Amino acid sequence: MPSQIRKVIFYTSIVLGMLSAFSIALYVYGSKPTLPADFTVAGWRVGGMPYDKFQQEYEQRLQLLSSYPVQLQSSRSNIPKKQLSLGQLGVQYQKETLARSLGQLFGGSPIERIKARWTLRHANIPLEVTVNQAQLNTVVKEAWKDLYSLQPVAAKRIVTNEDLLAFEPERKVLRIDTAHLLEHLKEIAPSIGYIHNAAPITLSLPLYEQGPAVTMESLKRQGIDRKISEFTTSFPPSGEGRIHNIRSTAASIQDLLMAPGETFDYSKIIEQTEAQFGYKEAPVILNGKLVPGIGGGICQVSTTLYNAVLRSGLDIVERRNHSLPVSYVTLGQDATFASGYINFKFRNNTDAYLLIRTITTEQAVTVKLFGHMSPSITFDINSNIVETIQPPVKYIQNSSLKPGITRPISTGKVGYKVETYRIKRENGTIVSKELISKDQYSPVPTIIAANRSDIKSEEMNPSTPEQPILEDGVKGPVNR
């Protein structure tokens, strides 16, 4: 063999040997069971430490950190200091970045492990500190249970016996600001390399005052500054059912608050009252006749409210008079109700809130409205009878009478046509006159029993409406 060829073979063997040795060295380097030199975890120097030992000590340190004490205190004497651990307070150390790095270092392919070991030889892998907000909130409320047992008290608007307005301020309570406490915990949470058996961490509790939704300022912003109208109607002290119905309905609108632009709906008040208190037996109006029923008296409340509304200058959205005159208010100034047919609605057309107050005694019901209206503005209500309607005569056939004989049963009552105006005055001077309503009250016919062949059948048997209209009640008639 020529010497030149032997040299080539010799040098090739040397190169192959070196490459083999280098490959073995790289494999050994990537397969080391220890952490890379100068490798640190959140400031904890662990370079060269066997991986198994690192894992064991790493978990021990995390457990120690979780149980590390934190002294929470406040300068306020009514808030006792408490000592809780970082773990109890929801402090957690996120290990995802470290897990990814170690996964490449000890769990990848040989090439990946070699690359990871080289890349991590001087690395410092951080551990992100997070705090579980829900856990922190729960622990804080439990630790300072007495503090959280106190609740804020809403401010109150007080109407004095003289109908003046006063305010009772709201009462605030102290609360621990867990959002800021969370940030403080993240800032002071010790590193995994923290010295063991160090003194507890002291942290001042961040506090704030929690107030109610209704404050004295929010009440004042509603703009209610005085009584703007009042109206009273009377009723006989007898009639337990009617008094109950009036009192219950008035109670349902007591302290009702209406925002600017809001519309009052009496039908909702009736539903609420019936559900909460129930209505009792009292006379109602059915097709223009007074009959026994349930809920009699509810229209005295709507009428009283209607008159207070009229004298406040508020917009009337819907209102009807009774089919028959009522005794407790001037003709043209009543407001009836028939479920599904007749309702009473008005709108708060002022820029301020409106407060409704009611007072019911054994003989009267009063409605007072509080809001904002210039003291120089007043309203007068003037109702005029423009026509009197004579009662018709209705005959009822009575064959027991002798032919041609008649016998009076009841005397009729006249009906009326009424116009009602609202007169606005400013400093006593009339500035406007508004037609509010044109009402008609049906006459009550004179009823006569007769046995006469010359009387027309329709006179003897007057027709009745196809659909009965029940006013001033919720049910009727009552069969005993």
Q: How far apart are CA 228 and CA 311, in angstroms?
A: 8
Residues 233 and 297 in one domain: yes
Which residues, at least 6 apart from 42, have a Cβ–Cβ distance to it below 8 Å? 124, 125, 126, 127, 191, 192, 193
Q: How far apart are CA 480 and CA 477, in angstroms?
A: 10
150 lies in some domain: yes
For 190, half-sphere exposure in the C-beta direction (CA atoms, 13 angstrom radius) is: 25
Residues 124 and 243 in one domain: no
Q: Is 16 left (phi over 0), alpha (psi -120 to 50) or beta?
A: alpha
Do residues 469 and 286 touch, judged by C-beta distance below 8 A? yes
**Chain centroid to CA 345: how far?**
24
Residues 136 and 232 in one domain: no
Q: Which of 78-87, 155-164, 426-435, 451-460 has the least mean pLDDT?
A: 451-460
Residues 319 and 455 in one domain: yes
Pairing of strands 201-204, 69-73: parallel
Residue 108 has pLDDT above 80, yes or no: no
Structure tokens at 116: 């990871």
Q: How confident is the model at residue 16, as a pLDDT?
A: 64
What domain range is 464 assigned to? 222-471
**pLDDT higher at 315 or 17:** 315
42 lies in some domain: yes
Q: How far apart are CA 65 and CA 140, in angstroms?
A: 19
Residues linked to residue 426 through DSSP beta bridges, in sequence order: 377, 429
14 lies in some domain: no
Average pLDDT in the 323-352 region? 94
Q: How confident is the model at residue 231, as a pLDDT?
A: 98
Q: How far apart are CA 198 and CA 242, in angstroms?
A: 79
Question: Taking the model in full, what pTM does it have?
Answer: 0.76
Give the pLDDT confidence of 298-313 residue by residue, as tens digits: 999 999 999 999 999 9
Q: How far apart are CA 460 and CA 393, in angstroms?
A: 10
- Amino acid at the residue 314: L
| pLDDT interval class at 409 (50, 70, 90) | confident
476 lies in some domain: no
Residues 440 and 410 in one domain: yes
Average pLDDT in the 273-280 region? 96
445 lies in some domain: yes
Residues linked to residue 384 through DSSP beta bridges, in sequence order: 419
Residues 182 and 252 in one domain: no
185 lies in some domain: yes
Q: Is 220 left (phi over 0), alpha (psi -120 to 50) or beta?
A: alpha
Residues 35 and 135 in one domain: yes
Give the pLDDT confidence of 213-231 residue by residue, as tens digits: 999 999 999 999 999 999 9
Stretch (H or E) spanning 23: helix 3-30
* Angle at CA of residue 414, ends 452 and 340, nearest 5°: 100
166 lies in some domain: no
Q: How far apart are CA 211 and CA 154, in angstroms?
A: 8
Q: How far apart are CA 237 and CA 396, in angstroms?
A: 36
18 lies in some domain: no
Residues 179 and 228 in one domain: no
Residues 186 and 239 in one domain: no
Residues 191 and 244 in one domain: no
Q: What total number of domains does the chain contain?
A: 2
Do residues 190 and 61 touch, judged by C-beta distance below 8 A? no
| pLDDT interval class at 403 (50, 70, 90) | confident
Residues 442 and 340 in one domain: yes
Do residues 335 and 303 touch, judged by C-beta distance below 8 A? yes
Residue 21 has pLDDT above 80, yes or no: no
Residues 196 and 229 in one domain: no
Q: How far apart are CA 348 and CA 263, in angstroms?
A: 6
Do residues 322 and 226 touch, judged by C-beta distance below 8 A? no
Give the pLDDT confidence of 461-477 residue by residue, as tens digits: 444 445 668 888 888 77
Average pLDDT in the 168-186 region? 96
